[in-house]
Amino acid sequence: MNWGILGPGWIATQFASSLTTLTQSRISAVGSRSQERSARFAREHGDNDTSAYGSYDQVLLDPTVDVVYIAVPHSGHADLALQAISAGKHVLVEKPLTLNSAQTQQVITAAKAAKVFVMEAMWSRLLPVGSVISQVITSGLLGQIIAVNADFGAQFAVDPTSRIYDPALGGGALLDLGIYPIAFSHMVSPAQRLLHASGRMTHSGVDASFTALLANEDGSTSSIFSSIETDSPQSAWIAGTKATLEVQRPIFASSRLTLRRSDGSIADSKDFTEHSPATGLGWEAAHVAQCLSEGLLESPVIPLHDSLAIADTMDLIAEELRRS
């Protein structure tokens, strides 16, 4: 596949490194509001035929681009996704797909009307460890699932000028980190309703930490924690009547899974090596290529209705946090 990159920042650098190392795809074009940044990114991660543009529009108009990867701050996801869809490009949007459920529905509606592929870049679902977790959940090994616990907290320097502390750019724990444990919970069972959410807000108006309790469709409950002010265990577990699956740090690309019997003894465990975006994002790029080669307009692993349901849950949590 020939990829167009919109927003040559840190995550795009990780994506490009994994893409060019692990797949046969290439970067065809790079777009940024800075021609200099695009040119530097193209030199470092592209080839002799990679085009560097000083605008996003030029990438979308480039006929060599098959699919675009949107890696700008969260606040720009919806608008650029809609522009890319309008230009007839397939789209991979860095998570969260958009800022809220309404924007997500708008993108989904546009994609279906235009008949182009759109996927939220929830890369952890596409790693080998994500596949194994899904298989364990559906296998019945855990029995009736009773409870899920998932957390992702990482300490960021307090900087009001940083994207993570800027509400206009979609900053805060919920959209940046909290989406991982919420998506993990959704993989087990979609949330039926929000039972509780509370947290701490920063002076800039974004959520610094939050805890949420979800009631799920399968009758289980999920406890979610996320933070940008403390480094949490970044782990998860799924407890069932027959066994518990323990997901070792980091939750977004676990290093080890442990299956523990109901008596506490270990039934099985497995280590995994794709712990960072630089070694893992190529899996989602390969998945997109596979989907497109099969003529699919959305991923069977990360379908658009999952992205919408997760956005619905995050909207409910965000509303409660604004009241706290």
- Looking at residue 161, its pLDDT comes to 87
Using CA of residue 42, residue 48, residue 50, residue 51, what is the dihedral sign?
A: positive
Residue 254 burial (10 A CB sphere; 0-12, 13-18, 19+): buried
Q: Which residues of the chain have pLDDT under 50?
A: none
Which of the 8 DSSP states describes residue 142?
T
CA distance 46 to 3: 10
In the chain, the amino acid numbered 222 is S
Q: Domains in the chain and their CATH numbers?
A: 2-121+280-301 (3.40.50.720), 125-275 (3.30.360.10)
- Looking at residue 12, its pLDDT comes to 97
- Looking at residue 188, its pLDDT comes to 97
Using CA of residue 308, residue 314, residue 320, residue 322, what is the dihedral sign?
A: negative
> Over the chain, what is the mean pLDDT?
96
pTM score above 0.75: yes
